[in-house]
Structure formats: structure tokens, C-alpha cells
């Protein structure tokens, strides 16, 4: 929990300060194309100056910022383990095996349905929507072009599957961030998201089956990718052991760090068994700097090169800065003043979850950054969920349903800009077909109206 506020502000002043902060961040990210770190640092400086003008001593301001950052240390430590898990699963063949068998299982199915399911599988396996879209997604765009299929629908299926993976994978940064931001155990959070994810998946899959064209031939691009995957990776059912271990521990509700540790250790053992030439120094480099695939297919090299502790540093630094800013927003009484003004209206699950969803969506459109939509919304509303007696896993689910999956639908959002760039399809063209992403916030609001999947503390 962030510490209590030191100032009592009128609502108009709190709203004005918050608008200045969000406007500066949105201008920096959207208009100037900065990485989000710098606009957040400038906003922190602005809030520190505002606090000094209001008469707060600098040591109190610094303490508020540090307390805000400290509330996210659980997520930071999990990020370290995620980086090692990804790189070790690449080295052991776990992720390549999931991809290889996934392609073969679904390649004979209707095109858009196959695209959606395979990208979902790969997204869950590697935990990164960006990597999934930039690699497997690009391959599917090539297939759709060769088959003269709709690129907009193909891109919508890719985005739907990639961000399903980003939302549900225990390797995903946003999944861990949402659970840690409000203090919900990781696998309890993932399990609770099934209430909205399963219906959204089924509806999306049915729609993609219906609108898929007649079956075409597999393209040379996909064939070359699969051949290289088999030639340069350790493809075997044996490589599924780390995945099974993590799945079993997750179902037994073992906490995240021991579960991830078991997945790392088992995959290291398998990597040494599979690759006799691998030594401890090389394995240590893989865990720290990431795994590097060296094949004759650039797309395979891109999707199977990554992970490691170093790969998490961008996210860790962004999370710490955003949480520090959140600490100042609470310390200076900005968010408490706004919440106090609307608290009288948030008297039911329907109103609370709807407000949470619309706040996360609004931040995605206003700031263009999904991390901030999760962090700020989560910290702003967690107290209200406790006050009404609801388990905060309802909040963490709403953060993902209306935060994580919305960013690729925003043309000026970080994910929207990235996806449109790598797939070559404008955001406004694929948005109507990103069915899973469109359904998630609707279903999370319906869960508040019907109380399906909600539990009391």
C-alpha cells in the first residue's frame, strides 16, 4: 500500500495537477515519440516542485516516492525470474517445441482460426505480444498475402492471439505487473482471468472460423520457418517437462518465485542433457544476457533470441519510475481527493468495475501506455475494492481486461504503433477484427453487472 496523503486538496486542483501530469506524459510518448521513462521523470520533478510549493519538506516527498516504488518490488523480483525462465526455456527447447507442435496441430484448420490459436499458443509460451506479432505474426501476414486473404482480418487475429498470450502468460510482464500492483498471487490472478478469457476466446474462435476463407496451401515462408525450427532447436516431447512442472505447481497454487525457479532449474538440466557441448559459463551467459538463436531464417532468429535478466531492465526501470510517480500522486493528495469525490458513487460491484475499466481504457487512450494504465488504475481503486469487501483479484482481472489488451487498439499507443509498423496494416483497419481485445472489457463490465466470477474477501 502507498502511504497516506499529506495534503488535503480541493477536487478542481487535484484534477488540474493530474491533467498536467498526464498531458505531459502523453505529449512526450505520443507526439514526441519518447520512451516513457523521460516523460515520467519530468512529471516526477513537476510533482516534487508542486509538493515543495505546498510546503512539504523534501525528505517527506522523497519518502513518498520511495514508498511508491517499494510497493512494486515483488513485481521487480519476479521480472528477474521471468527473464531467466524465458532464456532457459529457449535453450532447453521448451518454447521451440510448443511452437513446432502448435503449428502442426492447427495448420490444417481454417486460416483466421489457425492464426488466432497459434499466436495465442506462442503468446502464452513466450509471454510477449510484441515478439509474437513481430515474428509469427509477420509469417502469417506473408501466408495471408500468398493466399489473397484479408490482411486486416489476419492482423486482427494476430493481435487477438498475441495479446491473449500477453494477458494470460505467467511469463508476461503485464500479467505479473497487474497481480503484483494490487497484491494478488500470480496464479490466482491467472486462474481468475479465465472467467472472461474463456468466453472471449470461444466467441473469437467461432467468429474466425466463420469468416475464414477456403483452405489454401502452406506458404514457403511458413515451411522454411518450421524446417529451421526443427533443424536448429531441440524439438522433443522431453522438452515439455519444464512446462508441465510449472503448470502443476501453478494448479497447486505454489507462489510465483518458487514455481518459476522450478521451471528454470528443470529447463537448465534438460538443456545440459540436450546440448552436450553446453558448459556452465555459457548457461550463465544465457540466463543473464539471453539466448541467441543462430539459423538461416531471420524470423526464427528474432522469435527465439531473447530473455535473460538484461531483457527485463527496460520494464523494471519503467515500473519503478511509474510507481514512484504514483507514490507522489497519493502523498500529495491528488488521487485521494479525486477518489473521495467519486467514492459516493462507487457503491456497487457494477459501478466499481465499470469505473475501473473505463479508467484503464481512458489512460490507454490519453497516455498511450499500458503499464501506466495498470499501475495508476490499480493503485487508485484497490482501497475501494477492499472497502466494498471484494477480493482484489476482481480488480487485477479488470486491469488486464481493460488495460493490457486495449493498448494495441489505440493508433497512437505504444502497442498500436508497434503492431501497425511490423504487420504493415494500419491500426484502424485491424481494430474491428481484434475480436478478443474488443470483447475483454465488455465481459469484465458484464462480470460486474452479473457478479459472475466475483468473490468477497
Assign 158 a pLDDT band (cuts: 50, 70, 90). very high
Cα 169 to Cα 102, 122, 189, 195, 391: the distances in Å are 16, 10, 11, 15, 21
Can you give the pLDDT at residue 295? 80
Does pLDDT of 133 surpass 60?
Answer: yes
Q: What is the pLDDT of residues 248-303, one digit of tens each?
A: 876 676 777 888 899 899 999 999 998 888 899 999 999 999 899 888 777 778 77
Q: Which of 63, 322, 68 is nearest to 173 (CA)?
A: 322
Assign 128 a pLDDT band (cuts: 50, 70, 90). confident
* 8 A C-beta contact, residue 366 and residue 22: yes
Among the ranges given (326-330, 336-340, 353-357), the one the predictor scored with the smallest mean pLDDT: 336-340
Can you give the pLDDT at residue 1? 43
Phi, psi of 291 (to 5 degrees): -85, 140
The pTM is what?
0.70
- Sorted by where each begins, the domain ranges of the chain are 74-312
Does pLDDT of 425 surpass 80?
Answer: yes
Q: What is the pLDDT of residues 225-234, one digit of tens each?
A: 778 888 888 8
Burial (CB < 10 A; 0-12, 13-18, 19+), residue 58, is exposed
Does pLDDT of 388 surpass 70?
Answer: yes
* 8 A C-beta contact, residue 443 and residue 196: yes
Please give the share of the chain, as a percent, with pLDDT higher than 70. Answer: 92
Q: Which of 248, 281, 278, 283 is nearest to 262 (CA)?
A: 248
Q: Which three cell numbers stand for residue 86?
A: 524465458
Among the ranges given (142-146, 215-219, 247-251, 331-335), the one the predictor scored with the smallest mean pLDDT: 215-219
Does pLDDT of 82 surpass 80?
Answer: no
Burial (CB < 10 A; 0-12, 13-18, 19+), residue 45, is exposed
Mean pLDDT, residues 64-79 taken together: 78
Q: What is the pLDDT of residues 165-180, one digit of tens each?
A: 889 988 788 888 889 8
Range among 32-36, 156-160, 353-357, 391-395 rated most confident: 156-160
Assign 112 a pLDDT band (cuts: 50, 70, 90). very high
Q: Which residue has the cell 531483457?
A: 311
Q: How many Å apart are CA 202 and CA 448, to the nearest integer? A: 20
Assign 438 a pLDDT band (cuts: 50, 70, 90). very high
314 Cβ neighbours under 8 A, 6+ residues apart: none
Can you give the pLDDT at residue 118? 87
Q: How many Å apart are CA 115 and CA 49, to the nearest integer? A: 50
Which is more confident, 453 or 15?
15
Which is more confident, 443 or 277?
443
378 Cβ neighbours under 8 A, 6+ residues apart: 178, 181, 182, 395, 396, 399
Amino acid at each position: 500500500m502507498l502511504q497516506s496523503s499529506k495534503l488535503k486538496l480541493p477536487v478542481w486542483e487535484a484534477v488540474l495537477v493530474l491533467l498536467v501530469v498526464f498531458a505531459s506524459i502523453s505529449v512526450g510518448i505520443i507526439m514526441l515519440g519518447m520512451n516513457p521513462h523521460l516523460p515520467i521523470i519530468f512529471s516526477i520533478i513537476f510533482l516534487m516542485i508542486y509538493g515543495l510549493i505546498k510546503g512539504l519538506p523534501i525528505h517527506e516527498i522523497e519518502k513518498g516516492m520511495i514508498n511508491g516504488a517499494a510497493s512494486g518490488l515483488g513485481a521487480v523480483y519476479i521480472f528477474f525470474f521471468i527473464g531467466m525462465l524465458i532464456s532457459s526455456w529457449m535453450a532447453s527447447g521448451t518454447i521451440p517445441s510448443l511452437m513446432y507442435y502448435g503449428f502442426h496441430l492447427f495448420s490444417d484448420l481454417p486460416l483466421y482460426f489457425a492464426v488466432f490459436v497459434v499466436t495465442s499458443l506462442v503468446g502464452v509460451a513466450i509471454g510477449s505480444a510484441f515478439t509474437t506479432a513481430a515474428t509469427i505474426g509477420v509469417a502469417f501476414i506473408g501466408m495471408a498475402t500468398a493466399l489473397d486473404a484479408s490482411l486486416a482480418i489476419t492482423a486482427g487475429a494476430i493481435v487477438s492471439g498475441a495479446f491473449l498470450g500477453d494477458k494470460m502468460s505467467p511469463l508476461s510482464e503485464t500479467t505479473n505487473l497487474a497481480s503484483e500492483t494490487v497484491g494478488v498471487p500470480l496464479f490466482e490472478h491467472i486462474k481468475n482471468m479465465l472467467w472472461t478469457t474463456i468466453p472471449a476466446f470461444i466467441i473469437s474462435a467461432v467468429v474466425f472460423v466463420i469468416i475464414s476463407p477456403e483452405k489454401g496451401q502452406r506458404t514457403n515462408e511458413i515451411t522454411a520457418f518450421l524446417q529451421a525450427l526443427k533443424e536448429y532447436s531441440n524439438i522433443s516431447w522431453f522438452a515439455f517437462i519444464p512446462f508441465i512442472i510449472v503448470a502443476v505447481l501453478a494448479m497447486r497454487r505454489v507462489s510465483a518465485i518458487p514455481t518459476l525457479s522450478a521451471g528454470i532449474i528443470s529447463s537448465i538440466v534438460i538443456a545440459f542433457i540436450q546440448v552436450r557441448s553446453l558448459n556452465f559459463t555459457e548457461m550463465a551467459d544465457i540466463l543473464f544476457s539471453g539466448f541467441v538463436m543462430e539459423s538461416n531464417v531471420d524470423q526464427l532468429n528474432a522469435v527465439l533470441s531473447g530473455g535473460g535478466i538484461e531483457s527485463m531492465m527496460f520494464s523494471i526501470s519503467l515500473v519503478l519510475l511509474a510507481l514512484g510517480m504514483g507514490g507522489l500522486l497519493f502523498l500529495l493528495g491528488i488521487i485521494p481527493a479525486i477518489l473521495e469525490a467519486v467514492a459516493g458513487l462507487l457503491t456497487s460491484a457494477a459501478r466499481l468495475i465499470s469505473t475501473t475499466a473505463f479508467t484503464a481504457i481512458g489512460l490507454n487512450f490519453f497516455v498511450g501506455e499500458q503499464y501506466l494504465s495498470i499501475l495508476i488504475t490499480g493503485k487508485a481503486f484497490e482501497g475501494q475494492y477492499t472497502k466494498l469487501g471484494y477480493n482484489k483479484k476482481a480488480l487485477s482481472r479488470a486491469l488486464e481486461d481493460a488495460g493490457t489488451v486495449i493498448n494495441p487498439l489505440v493508433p497512437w499507443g505504444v502497442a498500436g504503433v508497434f503492431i501497425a509498423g511490423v504487420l504493415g496494416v494500419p491500426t484502424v483497419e485491424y481494430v474491428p477484427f481484434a475480436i478478443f481485445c474488443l470483447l475483454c472489457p465488455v465481459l469484465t463490465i458484464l462480470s460486474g453487472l452479473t457478479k459472475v466470477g466475483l468473490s468477497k474477501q
